[in-house]
Amino acid sequence: MLRPRIIPCLLVRDKGLVKTVKFSSDKYVGDPINAVRIFNEKEVDELIVVDIDATTKGLGPDLKMIERLAAECRMPFCYGGGVKTVEQAQAIISLGVEKVALSSALVDDPSLASRIADKLGRQSVVSVLDVKKKRFSSRYEVWTHNATRNTHLNPLELAPLLQQHGVGEIVINSIDHDGVMKGYDLGIVEQIRDVTTVPMSVLGGAGSVADIGELIKKFGIIGAGAGSLFVFKGSYKAVLINYPTLADREALVRAAHLRSA
């Protein structure tokens, strides 16, 4: 049975786990390996790990770090950061990773998605679109390199193009909502859903299980990703790895199937 996925997203910088607000002001929150072990115990649906320095520093994927994470991970694992070639994607998948996430590489060359999909299957190719609303406008634009480079591309045009080139999943990541914990940007999610058919996941803004519930109630079978929600606890944001209880997750699944019935 298809069901919504609730997905912790871990950001890695210098091999440490960090959390950002609007893609800046990063705060060190611990060891990513320890976080993976705790998420194993909590039986999470899926895990996304992104090395946020790899592309901005012109580095390739840290295969040793990925291998350590994959060896610990007992849930489907998606890795992103510095992937620019088919060979890098193959190396990552060979370590036990299920999906490879790409951002700027697909903006530069959308056909890279089809070449990776030919080798690994389109289910392993994920496009991450970091989006930001243009100032004084309702239009969104795609940014890359930790939101330091504006491509001026419209995600409503780029997303279907990437789907045509073989991307098997699209992750919409709201720059303005990142780390704010006041709810997802449902508007851009709806717009992207209207122009694509591949599975979608959403990042940026989740501050409570209720925010995840709102996303699932509106869109049904979707990936609800979050960072701060799963590494912080309470108004003072004490570091505590957490995840919704089984009862909460079952309630969210019921809401999704009620919507699709």
Active site residues: 130
Say how far apart CA 177 and CA 205 lie, in whole Å: 5
Q: Among candidates 255, 250, 209, which has minimal Cα distance to 43? A: 250
Q: Among positive and negative, which fits the CA dihedral 17, 63, 50, 131?
A: positive
CB 175 within 8 A of CB 132: yes
CB 72 within 8 A of CB 36: yes
And the tokens for 80?
Answer: 């992103």
> What Rg value do the Cα atoms of the chain yield, rounded?
17
φ/ψ of residue 42, rounded to 5: -90, 0
Measured in whole angstroms, how far is the alpha carbon of residue 58 from the centre of its chain? 21
